Amino acid sequence: MDSMRDICNRMVSVQKTMKITNAMYLMASSKLKKARVKLAAVEPYFDKLQYVISDILDHTEEGRQRYFATDRVIPPEEIKAGYLIITSDKGLAGSYNLNVCRLAEAHLKQTHNNKLYFIGLSGRNYFLKHPELGTIVQEHSYTAVNPDLWLARRIAEDAMRDFLNGDLDELFVVYTKMKNALVSEAQVQQVLPLTRKMFPVSQSHEDEETGFTYHTEYTPSALEVLDRVVPNYTKGLIYGTMVEAFTSEQNASMTAMKNATDSAGEIVQALSLEYNQVRQSAITTEINEVVAGANAQEQ
């Protein structure tokens, strides 16, 4: 059995760890609230962009749009696919990083000419050990900081340029989407090429007060407006996945730190009980020794 000094040292060590994990839990909670506010602030703008694209597609015939899928069939071995993999820079978030990396790895095995873009050092370090899955684009490997529009804009502009030049046939984002406070799921989101199925026409073109049906006119033309709107929509789509991933990361970190704090509390409680037992045993031993000494002196 450990001595009382050893048990005290262990208790102090665990209590210090518990303070650290509790502080990290509070930090993750604060970042999570800020991320949710940021996502709610930009959602109306990108929802309006999606509405405009849906309206244009609804009033134009099937034709060749630069950023939309064509009928051309590309053999799987010739597809040049790009993957933006969003993870965190460090661990301490449960299985958050591992789920994203495994999902990305499963998709990468289905294609051959892969380009890998990274936000987060954990994903980059994982795929450095698997060079056969794709080529890492060094100029597009970033740390997982707070989501910023400039970063989404830079990634989207370079990806769209490669797509139009024929250097990239597809672009996917692998990230974690937080469905609710308890459930997060790794997902693959297709960014390029766009398809008409991504923009269902669910809005009514009828005025509720007058009952008249209206039609929007686009100047100089609907397709030219579409060419201007789609890049902004693509940037918003990437930015949205960045915010979702950051929110999921903080939520996973909160859960992991809360579990660690609770486990540390249980360990301290068990050590405290063990300390009391050892202390009581030491007191009993001392009393027995005193009584034995007194009896021996009387004799």
- pLDDT confidence of residue 212: 54
- pLDDT confidence of residue 59: 67
- pLDDT confidence of residue 139: 72
Beta pairing, strands 135-142 & 170-178 = unpaired
Cα separation, 66 vs 166, whole angstroms: 11
- pLDDT confidence of residue 184: 76
For 133-179, the pLDDT digits (tens) are 878 887 777 777 777 778 888 888 888 888 888 888 888 889 888 77
What is this structure's pTM? 0.75
* Nearest in space to 134 (alpha carbons), one of 161, 169, 105, 154: 105
- List the chain residues with pLDDT less than 50: none
Long-range Cβ contact pairs of 18-27 (< 8 A, separation 24 or more): 18/260, 18/261, 18/264, 18/265, 18/268, 21/257, 21/260, 21/261, 21/264, 22/257, 22/261, 24/92, 24/253, 24/257, 25/253, 25/254, 25/257, 25/258, 25/261
8 A C-beta contact, residue 253 and residue 92: yes
Cα separation, 122 vs 98, whole angstroms: 9
Half-sphere exposure of 6 (CA within 13 A, CB side): 5
H/E element, 298: helix 222-298
- pLDDT confidence of residue 72: 65
